[in-house]
Amino acid sequence: MASSPDGRWLTAGSADGVTIWSMPEAEVVATLDHIADIEETDWVTDLAFSPDSRLLGVGRWTGVLELWEVDPS
């Protein structure tokens, strides 16, 4: 799990992908599924936000790193 520095987002990762909630409402705003060429057993091991809370880094068991734009504003 990771929360954004500005407190707007909470994330949790698993073998199925990443779920993002808006806070404090605790409303699911996005689910990031596997990218096509990643193995189904490639668990999310690390989550980290950029200092401005706009990017989410997702680290996977096999060493793959994904970067997602969470807040384009």
Residue 15 exposure: Cα atoms within 13 Å on the Cβ side: 4
Distance between CA atoms of residues 63 and 26, nearest Å: 30
Decide if pLDDT at 7 tops 70: yes
Task: Give the model's pLDDT for residue 2.
Answer: 95
Residue 28: how many CB atoms within 10 A of its CB?
10
pLDDT, one tens digit per residue, over 8-67 is 999 998 877 899 999 999 999 988 876 555 555 678 899 999 999 999 999 988 888 889
CB-CB contact of 56 with 68 (8 Å) = yes
- Regarding beta strands 9-14 and 17-22, do their DSSP bridges make them parallel or antiparallel, or are they unpaired? antiparallel
Task: Give the model's pLDDT for residue 40.
Answer: 57
Task: Give the model's pLDDT for residue 50.
Answer: 96
Query: Strand, helix or coil at 33?
Result: coil
